[in-house]
A and B are shown apart, each in its own frame.
Chain A
């Protein structure tokens, strides 16, 4: 299993601990990650809000790089996933737009041909590696850790470019439970973290995050587990922001899904990785040690 590894902007800029866990897990599961030389920003929400054709052309450039490598793209970020998957779907189906975008890419001696697929880390684990192989890789399972899974919007939405909302969330639940954690039910699980409005309107971003955190707190979860690096920032650092605004304290540790899996596979987090978490995750580490 070999993929063009699309890292995006946020992960190398803020969350190298997410990347390091993905690399460790991937190498154990036989997933080979090949760097995409020169790849640019996926063109997320902010850029799409400015101009349509610019979005498609920027995303298409990344897609053509992977086409030249002859590999499907693997992305770790839900925003990159949405942008690249949607562009790939649009350009594969719309001849007129494809010609327009190829007209722009011609200056770079690139052409979108529509030869590859775009996959998220969860799709790769579930569809390509397979649940059985993931289960067999678990050496130190969690003992019923109550995890509130945060799938993030663009893991499953819009459904017309995915398998369908609940299918994707179920895949995530099954993978999480393979680690010995219990995926607990909570209200508004499929809802947004509020992250896209961070910087545009911090007050509203915090209020949206709060709806989610209130529900998770009420469910009795030990921790939150995220797939998307934006959800991660919003729910981890966001708890500090909410505390500053409203004195409300949640103390809900937030783990990247890759970290959960890595620990269950028997690979301990290093100190520098533990220290990147704004809400301390010691509680979770201790639960694991005590077992």
Chain B
């Protein structure tokens, strides 16, 4: 049987955006309003909240569970407790990332951000079209300012390891 970690719920609650876990009454409105839960059996926000309350730290943070949510915030608007399930998902992802559980696509976007100040790198075609059709050169990003912020928050250490 999995080990139960009584501190886990409080670790989630003390992570920014994770406060809502403390007010969850397991009603399941989040699951019934979830677009992903309709098509993926593994994704069940109510059950995920239950797993956090029970203290199943490994099961929550080390598998794919943090990465099914679309952050559409439908559950957040539906929660009768203002429990912010969609917000709590961000807390879970922030904790999962610290354990090294980060999908490649997220790392790619973050590295784009560090290198160019943007998460999406323009195609050559888009740049040509902007210039040719009167919208001018690609708007310049102050990459140095972005990197200063990212170093100060140690974000670079999260994405280059």
Residues of A participating in the B interface, judged by any CB pair closer than 8 Å: 7, 9-10, 12-17, 19-20, 23, 35-41, 44-54, 57-58, 61, 104-105, 107-108, 153-154, 157-159, 165, 188, 190-192, 194-197, 199-201, 204, 207-208, 211, 270, 272, 276
Contacts and interface: CB of A to CB of B under 8 A. Distances in A.
A40 B115 CA distance: 12
26 contacts: A14-B123, A16-B133, A35-B139, A38-B145, A39-B139, A40-B118, A40-B146, A41-B141, A45-B71, A46-B105, A46-B119, A47-B113, A50-B93, A50-B97, A50-B110, A57-B152, A57-B153, A104-B149, A107-B152, A153-B74, A158-B77, A159-B77, A191-B72, A196-B72, A199-B108, A270-B133
A12 B140 contact: no
Interface stretch (B4-12, B21-29, B35-43, B46-54): B35-43
B109 A204 contact: no
Nearest to B156: A54
Contacts of A204: 36, 39-40, 68
A49 B35 contact: no
B86 interface: yes
Given A38-B141, A204-B36, A207-B39, A50 B71 contact: no
B contact residues, range: 35 or more
B122 interface: yes
Nearest to B17: A52
Contacts of B15: 52
A67 to B, nearest CB: 15
Interface in B115-145: 117-123, 126-127, 129-130, 133-135, 138-142, 145
Given A16-B135, A157-B74, A54 B155 contact: yes
B67 A201 contact: yes
A108 B15 CA distance: 27
A54 B152 CA distance: 9
Contacts of B139: 7, 12, 35-37, 39
B72 A200 contact: no
A153 B76 CA distance: 12
B133 to A, nearest CB: 6
B103 interface: yes
A19 B133 CA distance: 11
A54 B154 CA distance: 9
Contacts of B72: 153, 157, 191-192, 196
Interface string B80-119: 0000001000100110010000110110111001000111
Given A199-B105, A208-B70, A49 B119 contact: no
B135 A19 contact: yes
Contact of B38 (A46, A107, A211): A211
Contact of A46 (B17, B110, B138, B141): B110
Given A107-B148, A157-B77, A194-B70, A50 B119 contact: no
B159 interface: yes
Nearest to B92: A49
Given A35-B139, A158-B86, A153 B152 contact: no
Given A12-B122, A157-B76, A37 B155 contact: no
A13 B121 contact: yes
A197 B70 contact: yes
A272 to B, nearest CB: 6
B73 A154 contact: yes
A23 B135 contact: yes
B146 A13 contact: no
A41 B119 contact: yes
Given A39-B139, A47-B109, A12 B158 contact: no
B2 to A, nearest CB: 24
A201 B68 contact: yes
What 9 pairs across the A-B complex have the smallest Cβ distances?
A: A199-B105, A38-B142, A192-B72, A13-B122, A52-B16, A157-B73, A153-B72, A49-B93, A9-B120
A58 B36 CA distance: 29
Nearest to A190: B74
Contacts of A208: 35-36, 39, 70
